Structure 1
Amino acid sequence: MAEIRFADNYQDLSQQDGVDAGFQFEFYCERCNDRWRTRFRPYRSGQASGWVSKAAGMFGGVLGGASSALEGMAQAGFNSARDEAFSAAIEEAKSHFHRCGSCFQYVCASCFDSARGMCYHCAPSVNVAIAAARAQGEIQGATEAAMAEGIARGKQRDVRREQQLVCARCATETHGAKFCPECGTPTGVKPVCSACSAEMQPGARFCPECGHRQHQQST
């Protein structure tokens, strides 16, 4: 048989033996990864071996010798039959895929610029590039406008007022609210030590002045 020239953009789905024995190959575009599969070509020797094996199992191994003989014949002829099927598959695939003159990848018709002889990865469509750039520009412009709006809003916030971010009573995070969302305690009230009345940080378990252990109030 003559030499077989092929690329690596395919998957061999062939099966050597069994009732489903046959040859089938799946090729894919190396740009968009779309798949194209050849029609299934049955491998008769492998199928015959599979059917005889099934029959041998049904009849208690009476046909075991015939099954082994057919299996041996199927194995012996598989490689040459596969090469023949693969050569035919490559010829079929040539009408579905094109080789880029720049990167030498095989791509489908949708990813190939026949006028330039290159894939759209190496020779992008100008119209597509313009549309993509326009979309990126809109995103950038909207982002800049949103940031400007956010800066304007931020300048209106009172950043000098101290905010109590943890409730002094139940230690729940308040996120700057005037009242605790868990127990309703006003957040402006600072906790004090139950023993010496010294001001304490919210959630502190011991007084920093006298060391007295604080008892957390339940909600």
Structure 2
Amino acid sequence: MPFTDNFSDLSNTQGYQFEFRCERCGNGFRSAFQRDNVETGRSVLRAVGSFFGGTLRDLSYSADQWRYDRATNSPAKDRALAAAVAEITPSFRQCRGCGDWMCHSQCWNEEIGQCLRCSPSVTEEISRAQAAAQRDQIWDKAREQDWTAGLDVGTRAKVTCPGCGLKTDGGKFCSSCGTSLALKVTCGGCGSESGKPGALFCSDCGAKL
């Protein structure tokens, strides 16, 4: 039987329904719901059996056992699945290249007779290649430009203001509270702090920073 690994059983106590998935795009196609008239009658039997007891109760237990069997495997379920396959098959094609079942509307190359994974559309491949080449060229052009002009890369950057704690956007002072963003270095000799950018020696004791 077709569709042995790409369908889900959506059946419930009232009837049967199955969903079949394309093995390329994953789109799902649901079969029409098939109501189980036998189950409807057995539901009535269970209700009557629980009320009257005795033989009717035993029959209701048999109905419950049938219900369990039906949920796993049964001739009725096999027939329902076969009907669902017949209903949904026109929406699918099986690729001779990979053997997978593909939806005819989105993932099938009608001209070649294979799925788009095995035989991609020429137009789509050209478009994909053009987009990839354009992306690479944009990166190459961007690398040719100097994006560091005017940036102080010699001073350690602060991403948050030590005064208000908000995120900074560069510069020497916080744009939110005006606190200086200059990095302060503590001298190991005298313990004083130096906020002068690029200073190598302490201005108070001459020790190397």
Please, what TM-score do these two structures have when normalized by structure 1?
0.67
Q: Is the 8 A contact 2:24 2:117 kept in 1?
A: yes
Q: Distance in 2 between matches of 1:61 and 1:201?
A: 95
Where in structure 2 are the equivalents of 1:82-93 lying within 5 Å?
82-93=77-88
Unaligned runs of 5+ in 1: 203-208, 210-219
- Aligned residues: percent identity? 28
Q: Distance in 2 between matches of 1:163 and 1:66?
A: 84
How far did residue 179 of structure 1 move? 2.5
Structure 2 residue aligned with 1:179: 173
Where in structure 2 are the equivalents of 1:68-83 lying within 5 Å?
68-72=61-65, 79-83=74-78
Question: Deviations for 1:140-198, whole angstroms, at most 9, x for unmatched residues?
Answer: 2222223333x2x31x326586568599x8596867532345653445695778xx965
Q: Distance in 1 between matches of 2:159 and 2:97?
A: 63
Question: After the TM superposition, which segments of 4 or more aligned residues of structure 1 sit over 6 Å from their partners?
Answer: 171-175
Indicate the RMSD between aligned Cα atoms, in angstroms: 3.9
Q: Distance in 2 between matches of 1:113 and 1:7?
A: 23
Q: Is the 8 A contact 2:96 2:114 kept in 1?
A: yes
SS at match of 1:86: helix
Q: Is the 8 A contact 2:16 2:33 kept in 1?
A: yes
Which of the numbers 10, 18, 21 marks the counterpart of 1:25?
18
Where in structure 2 are the equivalents of 1:2-81 lying within 5 Å?
4=1, 6-15=3-12, 18=13, 20=14, 22-54=15-47, 59=51, 64-72=57-65, 79-81=74-76
> Cα–Cα, structure 1 residues 197 and 180, in superposed 2: closer, same or farther, change >3 Å?
farther
Which of the numbers 147, 150, 163 marks the counterpart of 1:157?
150
Please, what TM-score do these two structures have when normalized by structure 2?
0.69
